[in-house]
Amino acid sequence: MSATLADDELLITRTFDAPASLIFALWSQPEHFKRWMGPGSYDCPMAEFDFRVGGSYRAVIRSKDTGDSGFAGVYREIVPNRRLVFTFAWTNTGPSAGVETLITITFAEKNGKTVQTFHQTPFLNVEARDRHIGGWDSAFDKLKTYAETTAKEHRP
Amino acid sequence: MADALSTTFAALADPTRRAILGRLAKGEATVNELAEPFRISLPAVSRHLKVLESAGLITRGRDAQWRPCRLEAEALKDIDDWLARYRRFWTTRFDRMDDYIAELKKADTKSKKEKRK
């Protein structure tokens, strides 16, 4: 449980053994995207991208257990092979439905390998997002400690 | 009407309110104590507290004179759980991305070999 509570904000860094142009293609081209979004525990039967700033995308993942889950968003920034910013929200009902988030991905290639940083934050509008970038961390550092201890105390 | 999670995030999307929560993480405090570090009026602090209270992030004591504010961990835990679900989701996807890259490389090597023949 404490490991879960340590996640105060979504930041996932991964190094892939491939050039940045390929990793960028995996995000920007539906035929590639469908292949890594599924299969596994589910499939990705549908992905439609209008890949340009202001363009929208939508996709569906299908699981035997939970059925179809859709997600959609709008591209906000596109810098080929370097940076990708888009909104993301689940379109079904569920605990996270309708909560719009902003995903920022950067790609840095070195010696044929690419470091991908994936950052996802919830926000309600651009103004709110700009305010909380950089300010979110420190407050949460304190809060997570509090949440952790209190959650433990409250557990039967 | 906004869902509970959106309300919580909206409440958090303000530096003053996050600072107030940071202060409350150390322990209960009154409105006066909370207002001290900020260059804003007591009514302004009270407005922030109302937002935090309606988002379930804090509760306030009942005594009319002494209404200490207290941080509520449950709402924070909801956010933690929410982020953890996304983390699991993307981490497994990136594992799969790794596999797919390996598949593409294998196919590429194979086609190059065939071309050489």
State residue A10's pLDDT score.
Answer: 80
How many angstroms separate the CA atoms of A3 and B10, rounded? 25
Find the length of chain A: 156
Q: Which 3-state string (H, E, C) describes B47-62?
A: HHHHHHHHCCCEEECC
Q: Is residue B51 within 8 angstroms of chain A, CB to CB?
A: no
- Higher-pLDDT residue of A88 and A156 is A88
Percent of chain A with pLDDT over 70: 68
User: What is the per-residue pLDDT across B31-84, written as a single tens digit (0 to 9) for each?
Assistant: 888 988 888 888 899 999 999 999 899 999 887 667 899 998 888 887 778 788
How many angstroms separate the CA atoms of A143 and A131, rounded? 18
Q: Is residue B107 within 8 angstroms of chain A, CB to CB?
A: no
- Higher-pLDDT residue of A118 and A121 is A118
Per-residue pLDDT band for A6 (boundaries 50, 70, 90) equals: very low
User: What is the per-residue pLDDT across B75-116, written as a single tens digit (0 to 9) for each?
Assistant: 888 777 878 888 889 999 999 999 999 999 998 888 888 777
Whole-structure pTM value: 0.71
Q: Do A74 and A87 meet the contact criterion of CB atoms below 8 Å apart? A: yes
The shortest CB-CB distance from A131 to any of B15, B19, B101 is to B15
Residue A21 has pLDDT above 90, yes or no: yes
Look-up of token digits 């689940």: A90
- Higher-pLDDT residue of A41 and A136 is A41
For this complex, say whether ipTM is above 0.95.
no
The shortest CB-CB distance from B87 to any of A12, A18, A96 is to A12
Q: Which 3-state string (H, E, C) describes B17-44?
A: HHHHHHHHCCCCECHHHHHCCCCCCHHH
- The most confident of A2-11, A108-117, A141-150, B103-112, by mean pLDDT: A108-117
Burial class (CB in 10 A: 0-12, 13-18, 19+), A86: buried
Task: Determine, for residues A22 and B101 on separate chains, whether the beta-carbon distance falls below 8 Å.
Answer: yes
Number of H helices, E strands in chain A: 5, 7
